[in-house]
């Protein structure tokens, strides 16, 4: 019997207009946006729908915005496909919070609020450091780790074969990019981000996030949720809190996480939320894996058709 994993987008997936069509088409979706606004005390929905882009891109808005649109996509799919198959969940960076919420480890309001706080704490860390990130295309992990050690930067994301992301002080990231290109990387592309996520430069966010997580109820998930830090399923509430704090400065082991699910017999993956970056990574990891996604009405209808067919 095939197993299904639900995947949730990370920062960078945000785009002005995300969720607007879903809210206009489905009253239940609009209700979730209203509920989010009430929980946060400001109009996050209008920032998702209308921007401006500069406002949406701010970490403290992008993170809860992506969480919210991903959650709405999940709830609409659950509504349309009663008994939606879900044997595990996983999310990229902030998407791990959505994955945990989807698996019942925290409630919607708590998950949304703690992601908003996480975004603010990371924004504060960005403003007190001079960090940058870059994508290294067409290069292997082992030589990239050697360059990271040489340049004193972090290997932030291991997304899929041929796509790595580095993070650290601006000048050192530039140095690592030059070394990677000299040693055979196809491309080294600076990323339009506010700072050095998933690197030691984010350490100031960790005690604040730990306190925020201690203030909410965390439960054992109803299905396995894959940790970005270990590429294995989370344990109980104490371990979940610890791994989420650790994740702020640790590498995101996305390729390893997907390979772990594939090895356990997962054959169908449903990406929920804005964009299709995770579907792209999946296809680079295993072309035979079946990928579906829900980001708007058309993709919702297409996914419902497949799941009901």
Active site residues: 93, 198
User: Exposure string (b/e) for 260-274, b if CB count within 10 Å is 16 or more?
Assistant: bbbeeebebbbbbbb
**What would the DSSP string read from start to end of 78-94?**
HHHSTT---SEEEESTT
Structure tokens at 125: 């860390």
**What would the DSSP string read from start to end of 10-56?**
-TT---TTTTHHHHHH-HHHHHHHHHHHHHHTS-HHHHHHH--HHHH
Find the Cα–Cα–Cα–Cα dihedral 266, 87, 107, 299, rounded to 10°.
Answer: 60
User: Exposure string (b/e) for 208-228, b if CB count within 10 Å is 16 or more?
Assistant: bbbebbeeeebeebebbbbbb
């Amino acid at each position: 019997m095939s197993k299904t994993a639900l995947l949730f987008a990370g920062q960078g997936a945000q785009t002005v207009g995300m969720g607007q069509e879903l809210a206009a088409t489905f009253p239940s979706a609009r209700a979730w946006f209203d509920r989010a606004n009430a929980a946060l005390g400001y109009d996050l929905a209008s920032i998702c729908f209308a921007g401006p882009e500069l406002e949406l891109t701010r970490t403290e808005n992008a993170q809860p915005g992506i969480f919210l649109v991903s959650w709405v996509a999940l709830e609409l799919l659950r509504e349309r496909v009663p008994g939606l198959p879900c044997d595990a969940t996983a999310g990229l960076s902030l998407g791990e919070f959505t994955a945990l919420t989807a698996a019942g480890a925290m409630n919607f309001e708590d998950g949304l609020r703690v992601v908003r706080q996480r975004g603010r704490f990371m924004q504060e860390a960005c403003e007190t450091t001079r960090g940058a990130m870059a994508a290294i295309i067409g290069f292997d992990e082992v030589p990239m780790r050697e360059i990271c050690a040489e340049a004193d930067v972090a290997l932030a994301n291991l997304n899929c074969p041929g796509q790595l992301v580095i993070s650290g002080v601006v000048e050192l990231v530039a140095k690592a990019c030059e070394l990677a290109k000299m040693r055979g990387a196809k491309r080294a592309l600076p990323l339009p981000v506010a700072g050095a996520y998933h690197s030691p430069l984010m350490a100031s966010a960790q005690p604040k996030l730990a306190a925020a997580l201690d203030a909410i109820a965390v439960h054992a998930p109803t299905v396995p949720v894959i940790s970005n830090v270990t590429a294995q399923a989370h344990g109980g509430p104490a371990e979940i809190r610890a791994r989420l704090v650790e994740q702020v400065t640790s590498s995101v082991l996305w390729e390893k996480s997907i390979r772990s699910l594939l090895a356990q017999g997962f054959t169908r993956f449903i990406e929920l939320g804005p964009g299709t970056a995770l579907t792209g990574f999946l296809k680079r990891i295993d072309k035979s894996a079946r990928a579906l996604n829900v980001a708007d009405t058309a993709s919702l209808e297409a996914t419902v058709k497949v799941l009901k067919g």
